Amino acid sequence: MGWGMPTRPPPTSTPPRVQALYELCKRTFPAPSSVAASSPSPPPDHAIRAISSLMDTITPVDVGLRDANLEDGRGFGFFESNFMKNSARAARWAQPITYLHVYECDAFSIGIFCLPTSAVIPLHDHPGMTVFSKLLYGSMHVKSYDWVEPAVLASGKPVRLGKLHTDDVLNAPCPTAVLYPQNGGNIHCFTSVKSCAVLDVIAPPYSESSGRVCTYFHDYPFSSFSAGHAKVVHGPDNYAWLEALNVPVTINMRPGMYTGPTVQERQP
């Protein structure tokens, strides 16, 4: 009886990093119940570290961004806000920003924002959310605030005091940033210094039905209004008055085609 060459088991391939990120998020963020949906809690520290560590390893190639120069300078006419219509800020908000949808469910979303040079995602909040942001390439300025608690309001003005959390330029590669429902810079804005892309994991995602609606803000220097008897312990430059914008803010956001590995969804 003849014997053939011994067979070897097929090599096991490592799943794409995007798939690994999906699997980790699936284990970390359970589907929200009707009770927890309104006030979700951030995951434990070890889970935060695990997601951050995995995102730290993700490169543009892992998400299909082989050419990290997506700048084309075209406008698409979606910016219609009357707020500061003729200002330089409005012109920067009108810069086209491309969003690449990777995955979304009720518990979390994964997506990529691609910003041309000088584009701005204006100051906005993330109510009840934990957000992981990984700068994939390029350079961006990040400015973020957390609310001062208990709330400090200016007399007769629709503004509330926020404490500066971050005011810095980030250059890729750099560690994944994490913000939490109540701290970590939950209210932030991005300005691209160079053409850049940001991989975001948001848990849970925005949802009008669950009350997680994005609010945009304008920040004023601390000296603009009186804080009454409230004391600022770290100096006035570390604080700002934040006013929620009641006028429509329509960002020039266009959908793009995600060309990275497709997430293979698994059932619970």
What mean pLDDT value characterizes the chain? 84
- The domain total for the chain is 1
Residue 267 lies in a domain: no
Residue 4 lies in a domain: no
210 pLDDT band (50/70/90 cuts)? confident
Residue 58 lies in a domain: yes
Q: What is the pLDDT of residue 233?
A: 74
Residue 104 lies in a domain: yes
* Domain coverage including residue 195: 17-256
Q: What is the pTM of this model?
A: 0.83
pLDDT tens for each residue of 115-149:
999 999 999 999 999 999 999 999 999 999 999 99
Q: Residues 48, 88: contact at Cβ < 8 Å?
A: no
Residue 40 lies in a domain: yes
Residue 264 lies in a domain: no
**Site of tokens 């699997």:** 23
33 pLDDT band (50/70/90 cuts)? low
Residue 113 lies in a domain: yes
Least confident of 5-14, 190-199, 221-230: 5-14
231: Cβ contacts below 8 Å, ≥ 6 apart:
none
Helix (H) or strand (E) holding 220: strand 217-221
Looking at residue 199, its amino acid is: L
Q: How far is CA 94 from the centre of its chain?
A: 19
| CATH number of the domain enclosing 37 | 2.60.120.10
Residue 189 lies in a domain: yes
How far apart are the C-alpha atoms of 42 and 52, rounded to whole Å?
A: 14
How far apart are the C-alpha atoms of 119 and 93, rounded to whole Å?
A: 6
